[in-house]
Chains A and B, each alone.
Chain A
Amino acid sequence: MKRKDFSNLEITVQNKKDTIFEHEYSIAGVAPNLRGIYATMYFQTPLKTKITTHTFSKENTTPEVELSIFLAESLNYIQKGIDANATIDNIVSKLTFETIIGNNHFDEIAKLRAARMLWSKLIKQFNPKNQSSFALHINATIETSFDAFQAISGGCQCVISKDKKHLFFEEETGILKTIDPWAGSTHVEQRTEEIATKSWILFKNSTV
């Protein structure tokens, strides 16, 4: 057969998503802080690693329950601080999200993304002066090296681990070259929305 002529072949690009979740406009659209993550964070402040000798066991809880408890505890702490005349910026600078990472890869990524969205929603009510108060600092404790993968992909600032093997993900995979690399993925955005919505409802119900 004669060789085909491919010289006019072109790719066809589509510039509209087929599925857009409402929060994509805001978390992608608003200030980077709403993602709770500095766009520059891994470039200016490298991801931290802490080695620990503790052994942990992951409590058998859902991401939704975990986040609702985190929000309720944060609110409680903030209110005590305000009662004691501290500023919101000062109070939240001392708060971090301490979480143990499970092995459901995409649910854990969605959990960390939802945590940052909900944190900024919570903090907004107190009108902080510092933009950085919207950014949630996440310390992720991992049980196996592989769990660092979801922790980093979800955008934690610190990995707490028993050994250094998880450095593989930082050093060799290129996954820190851009922040929030799974943003837009229909599956991940859907799980993020589900987890955020349920967590907020649980949180609201627990504080009335």
Chain B
Amino acid sequence: MSNFFINEFPPSSSAAWKQKIQFELDGADYNQKLLTKTNEGITISPFYHLDTFEKLTIPLPKEDYKICTKISISSEEMANIEALKATENDSTALLFEASKPFNPTLLFHNLLQKNIEFHFKFNFLDEGFINKLVLKLADETAYFNIDIIGNLARTGNWFKSLKKDNSILKNLIKDNSDSFIISIDTTIYQNAGANTVQQIAYALAHTNEYLTVFGDEIANRIQFKFATGSNYFFEIAKIRAFRYLYNLILGEYNTTAIAKIYTEPSLRNKTLFGATINTLRTTAESMSAILGGSTTIATNFTSGEFVENQQLVLMDKLSFKNAQHIATESYYIEYLTKQLAEKALIIFKDIERSGGFLSQLKEGTIQRKIKENAQKEQAQFDAGNLVLLGTNKYSNEFDSKEDLQINPSLKGTSYKTLIIPITPKRLAKKLEQKRIKDEA
């Protein structure tokens, strides 16, 4: 395409463009009218240009992403049937959630040696059971996702005790040195209302607690779990910035890693009214997860009719190859990635300087910081500056076909906790409860 445009249009600069824009604005203030300031303290320009280009070199995975279906185990036989069905519908990964030990032989009947990736979410910690499971899945790709710190953050308690949890984890890592035992579950930070920079910083600080104990040997045996909201380009940049910073930190441990990242849609922005919009939200969120370079993506819902439709929409929309490279060298995304990384690194250093993530969690500092941002967002939502369609805008114009996958209150039972737990907060909740009351 030699001289296709150069002949006709002389080259220029972002300064010249800005001048043009100021002419178009006809006296209105450029900064006030066209710049967007975000809760992260990032300024978005109305345009980005080659002559201000900046980027970080992001370590990206080589393999294409997998699509994961979540299955809750109530009985092994039922879960097995659901799993087989999901793989027939093109799921290439399965996540099993369990509240107590299960019989692996029953669960994995006809599922092994089929190139399926297995993920687990255990709401308990049982060393003997996990050892057995690791053995059963020795020839498979499996992520066991033990995260004692994440469990503390989410529930306010250790599984058993500080000492016991740590010793069980140590044994599991020692006995299963080739397996992905640990995960860093950062979804709670997004779901509770932390901003993008905080999420990255907390993910790193959370990770560094394990690195401090186990060192470089676990660097390539961790799976990271992220949740993506609908702030599209920020979510793409978030995962990229995390990938970069994880490696930066690993430099101090004299190692490198291409992080395994499992991503699911956020709970924070899902709504009961206008629930039909949730499908678009989830699809866009999965798309930013893919373009950010996640290795596995999951819809947030457990199986059922809603999810099957969702999966079909996803498969149809998101079947691109080499998706992890598409954002590379985009002026805007590279700018955001750098901004997020720079700001998250500052918070990470602060946390480390003050004794680390666990110590800030015990003091309640992390909880307070997340709450501050969540309240800021809530105020923006209440004022109508942060929009959720069908809820605080066009409130009666969208189908509210009930989305049973959403727990309206996102509230657990109350119990005694060691630290203040970090809990998911849905933006729409208060408004929905008022509306339900008014309509009753």
* Residues on A facing B (Cβ under 8 Å): 1, 3-7, 9-34, 38-40, 43-44, 103, 105-106, 117, 120-121, 124, 145-146, 149, 164-169, 171-175, 177-188, 193, 196-197, 200
Binds A, one of B97-105, B143-151, B386-394: B386-394
Chain A positions within 8 Å of B4 at CB level: 22-23, 121, 196-197, 200
Question: B249 to A146, Cβ gap below 8 A?
Answer: no
- Among B245, B276, B331, the residue within 8 A (CB) of A165 is B276
- Among A103, A120, A145, the residue within 8 A (CB) of B316 is A103
Q: Whole-angstrom distance between the alpha carbons of A101 and B342 in the complex?
A: 38
Q: Whole-angstrom distance between the alpha carbons of A108 and B338 in the complex?
A: 28
Chain B positions within 8 Å of A26 at CB level: 5-6, 9, 11
Q: Whole-angstrom distance between the alpha carbons of A90 and B390 in the complex?
A: 42
Question: A178 to B48, Cβ gap below 8 A?
Answer: yes
| Cβ of B334 under 8 Å from chain A | yes
Q: Kindly provide the distance from the CB of A169 to the nearest chain B CB, expressed in whole angstroms.
A: 7
Identify which of residues 318-353 in chain B touch chain A, using a CB-to-CB cut-off of 8 Å. 320, 322, 325-334, 338, 341-342, 345, 348-349, 352-353
14 A-B pairs with C-beta separation under 8 A = A4-B253, A6-B348, A6-B352, A11-B244, A30-B9, A40-B21, A105-B287, A105-B317, A117-B5, A165-B277, A181-B330, A184-B53, A185-B327, A187-B322
Question: B320 to A106, Cβ gap below 8 A?
Answer: yes
Chain A positions within 8 Å of B394 at CB level: 164, 167
**Given the contacts A146-B283, A174-B231, A13 and B338 also touching, CB distance less than 8 Å:** yes
Q: Kindly provide the distance from the CB of B374 to the nearest chain A CB, expressed in whole angstroms.
A: 17
Chain A positions within 8 Å of B388 at CB level: 172
| Cβ of B269 under 8 Å from chain A | yes
How many A-B pairs with Cβ below 8 Å? Answer: 233
Identify which of residues 204-240 in chain B touch chain A, using a CB-to-CB cut-off of 8 Å. 208, 211-213, 215, 230-234
Question: A11 to B269, Cβ gap below 8 A?
Answer: no
Chain A positions within 8 Å of B387 at CB level: 171-172
Q: Kindly provide the distance from the CB of A117 to the nearest chain B CB, expressed in whole angstroms.
A: 7
Interface size class of B (residues with CB under 8 A): 35 or more
| Cβ of B406 under 8 Å from chain A | no
Q: Whole-angstrom distance between the alpha carbons of A174 and B277 in the complex?
A: 16
Interface centre among B9, B25, B245 (most CB of A within 10 A): B9
Q: Whole-angstrom distance between the alpha carbons of A188 and B325 in the complex?
A: 11
Q: Whole-angstrom distance between the alpha carbons of A168 and B53 in the complex?
A: 30
Q: Whole-angstrom distance between the alpha carbons of A124 and B50 in the complex?
A: 23
| Cβ of B260 under 8 Å from chain A | no
Interface centre among A117, A165, A183, A184 (most CB of B within 10 A): A184
Chain B positions within 8 Å of A181 at CB level: 233, 330, 332-333
Interface centre among B17, B215, B244, B345 (most CB of A within 10 A): B17
Q: Whole-angstrom distance between the alpha carbons of A92 and B10 in the complex?
A: 23
Question: A22 to B2, Cβ gap below 8 A?
Answer: yes
Interface centre among B5, B232, B233 (most CB of A within 10 A): B5
